[in-house]
Amino acid sequence: MFFFFFFFLQLLICPSDSVKFTTQHQIPPLPKRDLKLQQRFQLSSSDFVALKSIKTALHDLAGSDFFSTWDFSNAASNNPCSTFTGVSCSVLSSDGSGTGPTELRVTSLALGTGLADSLGLAGGFPMGMMNLTRLTQLVLFAGRVSGEIPRNIGDVLTSLRFISITNNLISGSIPNSLSKLSELHTLDLGHNRLSGRIPPGLCSLPNLKVLILASNGYLYGQVPNMVSPLLHIDLRGNSLTGELPTFPTTIRYISASSNYLSGKLDNVSELPNLAFLDLAMNAFVGTIPPSLFSPSIPLLLLHRNYLSGELPSTPSPVRPAPSPESDAAEDLSGGWTVDLSYNQLTGRVTPVLAEAESVYLNNNKFVGVVPSEYSRNVFDGKMKTFYAQHNFITGFDYPLSPGSTTLPNSVTVCLAYNCMTLPPIIPTVCPTNTGEPISRPKIQCSVYEADRLTGRRT
């Protein structure tokens, strides 16, 4: 399921096309170099010095040759805008007014190759980039770069629209000055060592669509309310606390798993464009909003919380798909997956999830017989995974029609440790941590049923 992450970064590449979930961390391509135009202008002297400073601060790790094209030995014939890997320039007025003398300015900088077989760059955070004052795009690919992001980055690099500084050793806090970048579309600072609180102003930027702060580990405190027109937010793998913030109706992707968040799920119950919700491994309580049980949310991950209550009887209606021209349009990969395992859900398993491709209900307190809608789809191969072990289920209504006596090879079903004898036609295919015995001890089943009928808590 990890492959769903980062798909909205492609919005900046083709905002009017369908957006697909992707396995790659995508960035906007560098603008095509107009060599004839660039030969007519010289690179700004301040930008030239800044690039030299960047190369001094960083170096290639073994197997990386990113800086092999950065040759400063013959500045007259070796224009960085046309020969340096990762550097793209535009012809701009020197004073930014549009009326002053024109010169080449670095507007896009991508440091590192981003290739899987390259270890990337190492060194301290390249402070020289702070002199590239006309940057609109800044990318630092995965490597071993350490240090802090300059606190005044938003005061100096005021034209930034895309920032991706990921998978390095960047520490310190998120600069408050980033909240001044009114044109910022994407901010990805994931997989570093950032600490402190999320600046509230960052979540109110008027053009921010993608915010990724995942897997820093040390970000803490309450998550600010999201006022920006976000499509994608990823906060997983930190130390955030408190209740969920409010989200804009534009939001499509929410990931905040592996934190210390608590409270109820009310703030995600009425989001008309939501397509991905991962709030697993937190401390949420209360019932699951019925609106979340919908094929329109093809990935719903709520496992390992303290959620309670019963399943609704039927799924919520499928929402109309966004038009291809919409920023929210995407081509979803994979079927409907719902993971509600390791909670405190009770009652009977209703048909609400019978049309899903993968269902995880294990380690709850469900009772009764699993409806035939599930078994039909399991034996037809439409439902690939059905985990319901470690409950108090008393039966699995399997089909008796000819030709439906064996499970397809692509299907996995686990019903171990329930209050039932497994049907002989259903092999026990369970995770290795399920353990034995196959059936729950009868005394546990009878005590739980008696408590349930008398209304006592278990």
Least confident of 176-190, 321-335, 341-355, 433-447: 321-335
Q: Where are the beta strands (DSSP E) in 173-275?
A: 186-188, 193-196, 210-212, 218-222, 232-234, 239-242, 253-255, 260-263
Position 405 scores a pLDDT of: 63
Q: How do the residues of the chain divide into helix, strand and coil, expressed in percent and rounded to 5?
A: 20, 25, 55
Closest by alpha carbon to 202, among 218, 191, 216, 189? 189
The pLDDT, as a whole number, for residue 316 is 83
Cβ within 8 Å of residue 235, ≥6 positions away: 213, 214, 219, 223, 255, 256, 259
Q: What are 305's two structure tokens?
A: 């919380």
How far is it, in rounded angstroms, from Cα 276 to Cα 255? 8
- Cα 316 to Cα 74, 165, 272, 296: the distances in Å are 66, 39, 12, 9
Is the confidence at residue 305, as pLDDT, over 50?
yes
Burial of 396 (0-12, 13-18, 19+ CB in 10 A): buried
**Model confidence over 307-355: pLDDT tens digits?**
999 999 988 887 776 554 455 444 445 689 999 999 999 999 999 999 9
**What CA–CA distance (Å, rounded) separates 377 from 389?**
18
φ/ψ (deg, to 5) at 333? -100, 135
Residue 88 has pLDDT above 90, yes or no: yes
Confidence of residue 285 (pLDDT cuts 50, 70, 90): very high
Please report which residue ranges of 231-324 form alpha helices under DSSP H: none
CA–CA gap between residue 159 and residue 237 (Å, rounded): 30
DSSP secondary structure letters along 410-437: T-EEE--SBSSPPPTTS-----TTS-S-
Cβ(300)–Cβ(339) below 8 Å:
yes
Q: pTM (2 decimals)?
A: 0.88
The confidence score (pLDDT) of residue 5 equals: 34
Among 65-74, 103-112, 192-201, which stretch is predicted with the lowest mean pLDDT? 65-74
Whether the bond into 437 is cis, omega within 30 of 0? yes
Those residues whose C-beta lies under 8 Å from the C-beta of residue 91, and which sit 6 or more positions away, are 37, 38, 41, 102, 103, 104, 105
Provide the 3-class DSSP secondary structure of residue 386.
Answer: strand
Per-residue model confidence as pLDDT tens digits over 374-390 = 988 998 899 999 999 99
In DSSP terms, which residues pair with 278 in a beta bridge?
255, 301
Retrieve residue 250's tokens: 């534009």
